[in-house]
Amino acid sequence: MNTSKSTPASAATVGYFVLSRVDPDSLSELLEWLTQGHVKEVLSQPGMLAADVTVLEQPSSEGRIGVMCTYRMRSLEDYRAYQTSDAKARFNAEGKRFSNKMSVTRWYGHIVLDSPAS
């Protein structure tokens, strides 16, 4: 899923990365939640420019399947505002239904190169 707003993703200066490691029998449920609403709702937040969801080919040592959500944001201020927003708190509450089925690791950082293929 590659979704973007009218502002190009290349205007992003911050990347926010969410790696979920989910039990194989819960992968379909997680992907449905992500692709049928959650990512679109995240993109409706101020400063969000683009997102993609990638299912990783390499399982974890526990046999869980990796799902990487990558979000592009306009600025670090937008990232910080998102992290303290009511929407983020609501998303965390919605995601609790997966708490026994997956683990989540999050990172963010400054994009230093955004280079399309020539």
Sequence-ordered list of residues with C-beta below 8 angstroms from that of 113, at least 6 positions apart, any chain: none
* Per-residue pLDDT tens digits for 10-37: 677 999 999 999 999 999 999 999 999 9
User: Can you give the pTM of this predicted structure?
Assistant: 0.86
Closest CA to 95 of 24, 41, 14, 15: 41
Closest CA to 17 of 60, 69, 52: 69
Q: Is 2 exposed, middle or buried (0-12, 13-18, 19+ CB in 10 A)?
A: exposed
Give domain limits for the chain: 2-110
Give the up-direction half-sphere exposure of residue 84: CA atoms within 13 A in the CB hemisphere.
5
Domain covering 2-110 in this structure, CATH number: 3.30.70.100
* Per-residue pLDDT tens digits for 81-103: 999 999 999 988 888 888 899 99
